[in-house]
């Protein structure tokens, strides 16, 4: 599909990759292996009732790994030096049922949450041993092209606010950082205020859309 800034990075739709390659990225332990990129697809009240095995089964069905003839998939896989190195979830926003019900991303916004012409980038996973090598940046750039080619009118990202020198685990930074989206051409259009006493300012605090898609959200018109 595309090469990253590093000539060794190649990004392809998940349905064009073997299932074992995607699972190599998720790993066998840690948050990514337990989540299987289902956090935004399962309502909060149902999360604990869906075991890891079922989350994995759903991811496999959603991505269609190993089926290049499929017309749709739910994310991208990055390769570095021929090895599976990263994953990015990107698809129409209504696919993320938990996202649609969260309070912070929707502060002061009145547009239709179920507009399927608006796509969302919700998750990045970089395989252990491949971090700090530009994988997430390559995936973010590829996600813009991927969504745009499939008719996206706008693309959203919900990165975390980070400060210089701060350290984060994948479980905190899976939504991506502001710099990753900014470097992919996204522009900040909303910075919701979290509820008092909440730490939600650390997650989903920015809302960005890529420049040049011809559509962007802003504050409601008074």
Is 147 part of a structural domain of the chain?
A: yes
Among the listed ranges 27-36, 159-168, 210-219, which one has the minimum average pLDDT value?
A: 210-219
Query: Could you tell me the pTM of the whole model?
Result: 0.83
pLDDT band at 170 (very low <50, low <70, confident <90, very high): very low
How far is 161 from 122, CA to CA, in rounded Å?
15
pLDDT digits (tens, 9 = 90+) for 76-133: 999 999 999 999 999 999 999 998 888 767 767 777 888 999 999 999 999 988 988 8
Q: What is the CA 152 to chain-centroid distance, rounded?
A: 15
Number of domains comprising the chain: 1
Domain CATH number, residue 175: 3.40.630.30
Is 176 part of a structural domain of the chain?
A: yes
The neighbour count for residue 160, using CB atoms within 10 Å, is 19
| Contact between 184 and 140 (Cβ < 8 Å) | yes
pLDDT digits (tens, 9 = 90+) for 119-159: 999 999 999 889 888 999 999 999 999 999 999 988 988 88
Confidence check: pLDDT of 161 > 60: yes
Backbone dihedral angles phi then psi of residue 163, each to the nearest 5 degrees:
-115, 150
Backbone dihedral angles phi then psi of residue 137, each to the nearest 5 degrees:
-65, -40
* HEC readout, 181-201: HHHCCEEEEECCCCCCCCCHH
Which range marks the domain in which residue 60 is found? 2-210
H and E: helices and strands count for the chain? 7, 8
């Amino acid at each position: 599909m595309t090469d990253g800034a590093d000539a060794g990075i190649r990004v392809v739709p998940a349905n064009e990759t073997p299932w074992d390659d995607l699972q190599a990225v998720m790993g066998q332990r840690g948050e990514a292996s337990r989540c299987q990129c289902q956090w935004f697809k399962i309502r909060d009240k149902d999360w604990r009732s869906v075991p890891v095995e079922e989350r994995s089964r759903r991811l496999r069905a959603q991505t269609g790994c190993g089926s290049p003839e499929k017309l749709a998939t739910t994310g991208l896989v990055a390769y570095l030096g021929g090895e599976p190195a990263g994953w990015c979830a990107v698809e129409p926003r209504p696919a993320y049922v938990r996202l649609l019900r969260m309070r912070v991303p929707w502060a002061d916004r009145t547009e239709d949450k179920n507009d399927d012409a608006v796509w969302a980038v919700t998750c990045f996973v970089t395989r252990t041993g491949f971090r700090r090598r530009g994988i997430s940046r390559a995936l973010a750039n590829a996600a813009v092209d991927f969504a745009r080619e499939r008719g996206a009118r706008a693309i959203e990202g919900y990165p975390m606010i980070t400060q210089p020198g701060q350290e984060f685990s994948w479980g905190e930074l899976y939504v991506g950082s502001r710099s990753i989206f900014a470097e992919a051409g996204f522009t900040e259009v909303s910075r919701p205020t979290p509820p008092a006493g909440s730490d939600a300012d650390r997650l989903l605090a920015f809302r960005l859309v890529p420049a040049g898609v011809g559509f962007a959200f802003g504050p409601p018109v008074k």
